[in-house]
Amino acid sequence: MKSAEGSIALENIFQDSQQLIAAIAQDATSGEILMLAWMNREALELTIKTHQGTYWSRSRNEMWVKGATSGNTQHVRSISLDCDGDAIVLKVDQIGVACHTGSPTCFYRDIELVKK
């Protein structure tokens, strides 16, 4: 994780062990947004160490590695922190589909805009 100032320490991202940060997975080649999940400090540490997308499930209240049961894994190439320090983007090589529905991306349902 690099910024104009250099590397960012995890202590500067997470104020406590219960804090969650939004984690956006983006295809490293195409730039397509694949999914949004949540990470706590441990999930981010594991992702940094293993280069595998590791997340915190708010509904199951447990850690999960993307593809551990489905085989649809994410190899993480890079991680960037946004300017406010409350979201990260993981550039990944997605193996298989990203969405649990079987869709390549979780963002496949458009919301109709009001015509001007």
Per-domain residue ranges of the chain: 18-94
Report DSSP letters for 30-97, one per residue. T--EEEEEEE-HHHHHHHHHH-B-EEEETTTTEEEETTTTTS--EEEEEEEE-TTSSEEEEEEEE-S-
Tokens of 64: 């999960």
Q: pLDDT by residue (tens digit) across 24-37?
A: 999 999 999 999 99
pLDDT of residue 86: 86
72 contact partners, CB below 8 Å, separation of at least 6: 66, 94, 95, 96, 97, 98
Residue-wise pLDDT tens digits, 49-107: 999 999 999 999 999 999 999 999 999 999 999 888 889 999 999 999 999 999 999 99
pTM of the model: 0.84
Classified by CATH at the fold level, domain 18-94 comes out as Ubiquitin-like (UB roll) (3.10.20)
